[in-house]
Amino acid sequence: MNKLRLFFAPPIFEDQEKTRIAAILNIVLYSFIFMLILLNLILVVQSLTSGQEFPDLIVSVIAVISFGVLIVLMRLGYVNQVSWVLSFVLSAVLTLAMLRSEALMSATVAAYFIAIIVAGLLSGGWAAVIVAIFNLLCLGVLNYLAIQGSIPNDPFPENTLVTLGVLFSLAALLLGLAARSIRDALEKARQKELEQIKANQELIAVQATLE
């Protein structure tokens, strides 16, 4: 049990901020892997009981392998790099899933918001904006290919991309504000901690002189 706990435990680094981000990354990456495995198990059982076609596991296998590689890189110390790459990997996996689906307008579109949330949570507001633009570009390319008949998917309904662009922008904006508030709160907490340490050291010095 202890070995299993150590296996899933987040890495610890000398930099406190790096350790904090690594802890969040650790939870996010393992959560993605476990949820994908659970989702596919449910879909397989549903297919067996109802006689439906088996789910397409290719995208899930690619996603699990990608997340596993990111976990290894994170444990090697590439925390900031993984923080940036994760959202783009997630967006790419979602785009591949939509490419293999029958219609572009599906529940998978909502998962693009997760990529924006992860970017804002780990790398700040500008990262969320960049990922939001990247998501919109991915959907735009898919829609263009569907309209041209290059892929068998049905294109988005009219004005859907505009609506998604507005929603992605709002999500990125709100996450940027939230990330800034979190950083300000952490900075104030660090300053108070340093002030308290300094005050304690001064008190110890005064006590030593009195003795």
pLDDT in tens, 169-211: 888 888 878 777 777 777 787 788 777 877 777 777 767 676 6
CB burial string 128-149: b at 16+ within 10 A, e below: bbbbbebbbebbeebbebbeee
Q: Residues 6 or more apart from 152 whose CB is under 8 A from it?
A: 102
Confidence at residue 210, expressed as pLDDT on a 0 to 100 scale = 62
Which residues touch 93 (CB under 8 Å, ≥6 apart)?
59, 62, 63, 66
Measured between alpha carbons, how far is 46 from 102 in angstroms, rounded to an integer? 20
Angle between helices 58-75 and 16-50 (to 10 degrees): 160
In the numeric block, which tokens belong to residue 116? 């924006």
Q: What percent of the chain has pLDDT over 90?
A: 21
What one-character DSSP code corresponds to residue 150? S
SS3 69: helix
| Whole-angstrom distance, CA of residue 174 vs CA of residue 128 | 10
Cα–Cα distance, 60 to 97 (Å, whole number) = 9
The residue among 89, 96, 98, 94 whose CA lies nearest residue 65 is 89
**What's the average model confidence in pLDDT over 149-157?**
80
User: CA-to-CA distance for 192 and 184, rounded, in angstroms?
Assistant: 12
Phi and psi at residue 103, to the nearest 5°: -130, 145
Tell me the mean pLDDT in the region 48-52. Answer: 77
- The answer to whether 108 touches 153, Cβ cutoff 8 Å, is no
For residue 103, give the DSSP letter. B
Report the pLDDT value the prediction gives residue 126, as an integer from 0 to 100: 84
* The length of the chain, given as a count of residues: 211
| Mean pLDDT along residues 20-43 | 90
Model pTM score: 0.78
How far apart CA 75 and CA 68 sit, in angstroms, is 11
Q: How far is it, in rounded angstroms, from Cα 194 to Cα 173?
A: 32
Q: Distance of CA 112 to CAs 118, 133, 140, Å? A: 10, 11, 13
Model confidence at 134, pLDDT cuts 50, 70, 90, reads very high
**56 or 75, which is more confident:** 75
